[in-house]
Amino acid sequence: MNASTSLIQVRGLGKLFILHNQGGIRLPVLRDVSFDAGPGDCLVLAGPSGTGKSTLLRCLYGNYLATEGSIRVRDGAAWVDLTGAPEQRILRLRRELIGYVSQFLRVIPRVGTLDVVAEPLRERGVDAEAARAQAAALLERLNVPRRLWGLPPATFSGGEQQRVNIARGFIGGHPVLLLDEPTASLDADNRAVVVGLIREAVAAGRCLIGIFHDEAVRDRVATRILSIQPAVLADTPE
C-alpha cells in the first residue's frame, strides 16, 4: 500500500508507562510499531495477551499518549499527526474520522439506550429523529429487544451492553474504526451479526483495525494480520 491511498500511518510507535507512585517502575508496552492501513482494510492485531494490542488501539484514538514515534491520519487532503495535534483537533477527528468500540460500554446515568447509540450522529449535527431512526435499525439488527431501548444500559447483561456499544461505534460511519474485542461476550448468532457489520464496513471502503481473540471471527474478517511483539523481548534479534 502506498502513502497516497492509506488513511493511517504509524511509524516507530512506542509506549512506555512510568508509575511514579510505585517507585517509578517503567513498563515498556509497545516498541517500534509501524504500519499503514487504508480503505477496505481490516487489519487484525495479533499476539498473546499482554503484548499491548489494546494499548496500541488506545494510542490510535488519542486515549493514551504515545511515548515515541508518530501516528498520522489523513483528514481529506491533509495529514494530521495525532501525537502532536491540539486537543480540539483530536476531538474533531473523533467526531468525524476515527471511531472506537471499547471492550466495555461506559454508561451515562439516565440516558436511554436509543440515545446512547444515536449520540455520535447527534454530535455531528444530525437531527434527533434521523439519528434515532438509524440507531433503532442497528439495535434491531443486533437483536437488542425493543423493550430495552428506552432504558439506560446500566442494568443490561454484558452481551447486551456490548451490542449497544457496537451499535454506538458503527453508527457514526467513521472512515477509520478501532475495535477492541467486539465479539468477546456475544453468542454465536450475534457474533455472526457483528461479522456481517464488519464485512459490510470493509466492503464500503472503511478502514478497520481490531483485536479478535476468536479465531473463527478473525479468519472471516481479516484482510491483513499485524503481529505485535512484546516490547520487553523486542531487543532480541529475530
Q: Does residue 79 touch other proteins according to CB under 8 A?
A: no
Q: Does residue 76 touch other proteins according to CB under 8 A?
A: no
Q: Give residue for cell 479468519.
A: 219
Q: Cell digits for 58?
A: 488506545
Identify the residue among 27, 91, 151, 225 touching other proteins (CB under 8 A).
Answer: 91
Instruction: Quote the distance between the C-alpha of residue 216 and its chain's center.
Output: 20
Query: Cβ closer to other proteins: 66 or 166?
Result: 66
Identify the residue among 3, 65, 130, 137 touching other proteins (CB under 8 A).
Answer: 65
Residue count, binding to other proteins (CB under 8 A): 19
Identify the residue among 23, 48, 76, 109 touching other proteins (CB under 8 A).
Answer: 109
Q: Does residue 111 touch other proteins according to CB under 8 A?
A: yes
Please give the full DSSP string across 143-158, using - where no structure is assigned. T--GGGTTS-GGGS-H
In the complex, the smallest distance separating the C-beta of residue 86 from other proteins, rounded to whole angstroms, is: 9
Around Cβ 88, how many Cβ atoms within 10 Å? 8
Q: Does residue 20 touch other proteins according to CB under 8 A?
A: yes
In the complex, the smallest distance separating the C-beta of residue 223 from other proteins, rounded to whole angstroms, is: 29
| Distance, CA of 166 to CA of 145 (rounded, Å) | 15
Contact between 36 and 7 (Cβ < 8 Å)? no
Q: Does residue 87 touch other proteins according to CB under 8 A?
A: yes
Instruction: Select the span of 16-24, 135-143, 166-174, 208-216 touching other proteins (CB under 8 A).
Output: 16-24
Spatial neighbors of 108 by CB under 8 A, at least 6 apart, are: 116, 152
Provide the β-strand partners of residue 26: 18
Spatial neighbors of 90 by CB under 8 A, at least 6 apart, are: 62, 82
Q: Does residue 108 touch other proteins according to CB under 8 A?
A: yes
Q: Does residue 21 touch other proteins according to CB under 8 A?
A: yes
Q: Does residue 233 touch other proteins according to CB under 8 A?
A: no
Q: Does residue 19 touch other proteins according to CB under 8 A?
A: yes
